[in-house]
């Protein structure tokens, strides 16, 4: 298992590399659509937004967290 940084909260970090490509794609798309991400003056396609979030996961600027209380996953900003 790869190193995962500590993130505030009670969730458990899930290394994005341990998810299947389809599961990761679906999770990132759901996150983007749920968050209604605002990128400012310039519009981005869903594919571009997915690439932005994937890059944040790769750089460990964001991490996938599993909340055992709600049995749900989310993508959160890594504050380290």
Residue 2: inside a domain, yes or no?
no
In a domain, 64, yes or no: yes
Is 24 among the domain residues? yes
Question: Is 48 within the bounds of a domain?
Answer: yes
User: What is the overall mean pLDDT for the chain?
Assistant: 83
pTM assigned to the model: 0.77
CATH label of the domain that carries residue 40? 1.10.10.610
**Bridge partners, residue 73, by sequence:** 66
Residue 45 lies in domain: 12-77
Domain count, the chain: 1
Asked, for residue 5, whether it belongs to a domain, the answer is no
pLDDT in tens for each of the 80 residues of the chain? 344 444 445 789 999 999 999 999 999 999 988 866 555 667 888 899 999 999 999 999 999 999 998 899 999 988 76
Q: Using alpha carbons only, how large is the chain's radius of gyration in Å?
A: 13
Residue 46 to residues 13, 40, 52: CA-CA distances in angstroms?
25, 15, 10
The tens digit of pLDDT for each residue in 30-51 reads: 998 886 655 566 788 889 999 9
């Amino acid at each position: 298992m790869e190193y995962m940084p500590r993130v505030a909260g009670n969730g458990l970090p899930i290394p994005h590399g341990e998810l299947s490509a389809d599961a990761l794609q679906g999770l990132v798309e759901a996150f983007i659509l749920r968050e209604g991400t605002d990128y400012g003056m310039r519009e981005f396609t869903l594919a571009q937004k997915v690439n932005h979030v994937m890059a944040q996961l790769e750089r460990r600027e964001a991490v996938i967290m599993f909340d055992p209380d709600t049995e749900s996953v989310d993508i959160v900003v890594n504050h380290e």
